[in-house]
Chain A
């Protein structure tokens, strides 16, 4: 296979990382909402933790982007 084509396929495959990030972010917000519905008075206090978890989960998806960029531009 040509190197250029293989690079493109590799970069595309790196986008699969987004599936995991999507599942993670969905889980975080879903669980936060269900917890907040059960005990609304405790919800406000856990909001920073929600944001922290969201950012941590999103970052793993972005590592996939970095891999794609390395494949495309660094080699």
Chain B
């Protein structure tokens, strides 16, 4: 058994090494668990849409709830104009959610606990939203850095702050998800280690704590997927409806 709490985040190759133009494209455990999440998502949604009835069954009800949840979230935060981006945000949310949830199974690997995965998502969103803003508003999109109602004296300072906060969006978006998942899983592993080292005498104490923490982690797994999606909606809102 691994004693190091960070051991669970190791990425290792499964099967043969594949190298194309010097880039390592081997199949790893990270890709395996992404694939598993993808299969779970497909199964869930296929079961939900298999036989559509007026009185829905269990799976149909769950998929409909998920659909309504995301649809309501988008219309609440980004308005009507964001309707065409529903499929993007839905797939983003459900993929992050399932990756987090699959990571909660014992002996599995959490894909989103690696900053490269979350940074790839966040950069994709950031670049996409920036391009979208420039396509829709042209150079007027730069107004996002100039809030209205600010005195002329303060404007240069505010502009610098706004530019920095705009550029730090992908960092904060990716670090939030990655750090939450990594910290939670490390904590679970540390408390699991306490159970082993305290043995039968006092081991039940960290065990109960561990059970409670697992519940909290499942909540955090959902919450972080939700926050990731809602922040994407907020950024999309900035690009679509230029308020400033």
Contact = CB atoms under 8 A, between A and B. Distances in A.
B223 A55 contact: yes
A62 B180 contact: yes
Contacts of A62: 175-176, 179-180, 183
Interface string A20-60: 00000000000000000000000000001001101110110
Contact of A66 (B179, B224, B226, B227): B179
Contacts of A56: 227
B223 A59 contact: no
B68 to A, nearest CB: 14
Interface residues of A, number: 12
B226 A59 contact: no
Contacts of B176: 55, 59, 62
Chain B: interface secondary structure? helix
Interface string B217-229: 0000001101100
Interface in B77-115: none
A63 to B, nearest CB: 6
B180 A58 contact: yes
A29 B151 CA distance: 35
B75 interface: no
Interface string B122-134: 0000000000000
Given A59-B176, A63-B175, A66-B175, A52 B227 contact: yes
A66 B114 CA distance: 12
B172 interface: yes
Given A51-B223, A54-B223, A65-B183, A59 B175 contact: yes
B179 A59 contact: yes
Contact of B172 (A52, A58, A59): A59
A29 B226 CA distance: 18
Contacts of B230: 48, 52
A59 to B, nearest CB: 4
Contact of B179 (A51, A52, A65): A65
Given A62-B175, A63-B175, 8 more contacts: A48-B73, A51-B226, A52-B227, A55-B224, A56-B227, A59-B176, A59-B180, A66-B179
Interface of B: 73, 76, 172, 175-176, 179-180, 182-183, 223-224, 226-227, 230
